[in-house]
Structure 1
Amino acid sequence: MGVHYFIQALFVLVGLLSLLAAICNWNWFFTAKNTQFIVRNVGRKQARWFYALIGFLMIATGVFFFLSIQGTV
């Protein structure tokens, strides 16, 4: 059962990282090799919106599964 909480926390933490990077416009995040594909294809402003959305969805997913597991216990 503890693994579920770890995965949920990981979703929330990664979502927060993505959301904060989009809000704060962190240069190190948007110049990283893994984000360059999105930045090159849609531009930095749209990439920030994309990563904000991804971050929000990851946070929501972690919270949703936390609440659904709490309901089954």
Structure 2
Amino acid sequence: MGIHYFIQGLFVLVGLLSVLAAICNWNWFFTAQNTQFIVRNVGRKQARWFYALIGILMMGTGIFFFLSIQGTV
């Protein structure tokens, strides 16, 4: 059961990283090769909104599954 907590924590941490990158407008994040597809197609401002939304969804997913596992134990 311990692997579930690790994966949920990873979701929350990666989501937090994405939200912080969007809020702080980190250049290293938005110039990375993996983010260039979104930045080129919609622009940096919309890419920041997109990654903030993705981050919130990832954190929400991690928290939701943490709470649902807590309810079954």
TM-score range, shorter chain: over 0.9
Write the distance in 1 (CA, Å) between the matches of 2:22 and 2:65.
24
CA RMSD of aligned residues (A): 0.2
Question: Which runs of 5 or more residues in structure 2 are unaligned?
Answer: none
Instruction: State percent identity of aligned pairs.
Output: 89
Find runs of 4+ consecutive structure 1 residues off by over 6 angstroms. Answer: none
Q: How do residues 41-52 of structure 1 correspond to structure 2 at under 5 angstroms? A: 41-52=41-52
**Structure 1 portions without partners, runs of 5+:** none
- The secondary structure found in structure 2 opposite 1:34 is coil
- 1:7-40: CA deviation from partner (whole Å, max 9, x where unpaired): 0000000000000000000000000000000000
Q: State the TM-score, normalized to the length of structure 2.
A: 1.00
Equivalents in 2 of 1:37, 1:53: separation in Å?
17
